[in-house]
């Protein structure tokens, strides 16, 4: 049986970093599709509660759970609490991420480690924590937010590029491990999306690399996540990377 067989309003999604930016748009789109949503956040409790409020005002169900997903204990608590509250997890969106940009020559070990700890190890920890319940229920959708930078590199982002490339490798390996139990694992690789993360990026520096000639929106990335999480086609797609990047990377 695939996830498609379960009504969306009986499904539960955990979105890491669901308080702002792309994660917020993902939480809202899944909440509006009827899924119960766990909105994870690290610091922005007001923003996370606002996401919960919007979902519940629209007739859905959601809770905000604080937890730094780079920390194993916090991840265990996040997944345990989600299971206690909703009884199951059908969709995990590994979205939480940070940048600490600087040229390699100036990059401190803590800049490297901080980005790897959240953007790569965090994906490992959350994926591992949901794998057991998903394998048991023989259904699940794991969606990892990577980046075009993990495919093409970017000066000043050796740490971030390495983490996001690592997410793609992790996605493919785990996809092969869990496929026989109806669990799919895919990555989404956004290009430049207008969020707090890119507020310092100067449009004139990057627009020449974007064939569609503009930054993307968080909602456009969320639309791809919604497709993988809820469309019937999602049951037969695994180990793939989907670019939502205005044409930056054409494989």
Residues known to be catalytic: 160
Among 3, 11, 40, 184, binds ligand NAP (CB under 6 A): 40
Pick 63 or 182: Cβ nearer ligand NAP: 63
Angle (CA) 203-205-207 rounded to 5° is: 60
Query: E strands of 81-205, at which residues?
Result: 91-94, 140-145, 183-190
- If binding is defined by CB under 6 A, does position 57 make contact with ligand NAP? no
Q: How far is the CB of 146 from ligand NAP (least distance, A)?
A: 7
User: Looking at the chain, how many residues does it have?
Assistant: 251
- If binding is defined by CB under 6 A, does position 97 make contact with ligand NAP? yes
Identify the helix (H) or strand (E) that includes residue 39: strand 36-41
| Tokens representing residue 212 in the block | 């569609």
- From 28-36, 64-72, 125-133, 226-234, span contacting ligand NAP (CB under 6 A): 64-72
- Euclidean distance between CA atoms 120 and 87, whole angstroms: 27
User: Rounded to the nearest 5°, which phi and psi values hold at 141?
Assistant: -130, 115
User: Rounded to the nearest 5°, which phi and psi values hold at 136?
Assistant: -65, -40
Residues 167-226, interacting with ligand NAP (CB under 6 A):
190, 192-193, 195-198
Q: How far is the CB of 69 from ligand NAP (least distance, A)?
A: 4
- From 35-43, 101-109, 168-176, 233-241, span contacting ligand NAP (CB under 6 A): 35-43
| Tokens representing residue 41 in the block | 């956040």
- If binding is defined by CB under 6 A, does position 26 make contact with ligand NAP? no
Among 8, 54, 72, 98, binds ligand NAP (CB under 6 A): 98
Among 11, 121, 127, 147, binds ligand NAP (CB under 6 A): 147
The full DSSP string for 189-224 is: EE-SB-SGGGTTS-HHHHGGG-TT-S-B-HHHHHHH
- If binding is defined by CB under 6 A, does position 96 make contact with ligand NAP? yes
- If binding is defined by CB under 6 A, does position 22 make contact with ligand NAP? yes
Identify the helix (H) or strand (E) that includes residue 14: strand 12-15
Chain residues in the site for ligand NAP (CB under 6 A): 16-17, 19-23, 40-44, 68-70, 95-98, 118, 145, 147, 190, 192-193, 195-198
């Amino acid at each position: 049986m695939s996830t498609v067989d379960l009504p969306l309003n009986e499904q539960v999604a955990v979105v890491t970093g669901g308080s702002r930016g792309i994660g917020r748009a993902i939480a809202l789109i899944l909440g509006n599709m009827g899924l119960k949503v766990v909105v994870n956040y690290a610091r922005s409790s007001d923003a996370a509660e606002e996401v919960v409020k919007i979902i519940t005002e629209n007739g859905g169900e959601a809770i905000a759970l604080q937890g730094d997903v780079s920390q194993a204990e916090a991840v265990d608590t996040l997944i345990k609490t989600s299971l206690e509250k909703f009884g199951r997890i059908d969709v995990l969106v590994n979205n939480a991420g940070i940048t600490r940009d600087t040229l390699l020559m100036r990059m401190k070990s803590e800049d490297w480690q901080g980005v790897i700890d959240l953007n790569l190890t965090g994906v490992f920890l959350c994926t591992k924590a949901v794998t057991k319940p998903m394998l048991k229920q023989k259904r699940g959708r794991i969606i990892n937010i990577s980046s075009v930078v993990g495919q093409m590199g970017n000066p000043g982002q050796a740490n971030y590029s390495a983490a996001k490339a690592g997410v793609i490798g992790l996605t493919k390996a785990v996809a092969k491990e869990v496929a026989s139990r109806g669990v799919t694992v895919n990555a989404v690789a956004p290009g430049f999306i207008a969020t707090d993360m890119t507020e310092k990026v100067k449009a004139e520096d990057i627009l020449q690399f974007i064939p569609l000639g503009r930054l993307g929106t968080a909602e456009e990335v969320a639309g791809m996540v919604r497709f993988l999480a809820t469309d019937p086609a999602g049951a037969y797609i695994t180990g793939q990377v989907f670019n939502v990047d205005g044409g930056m990377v054409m494989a």
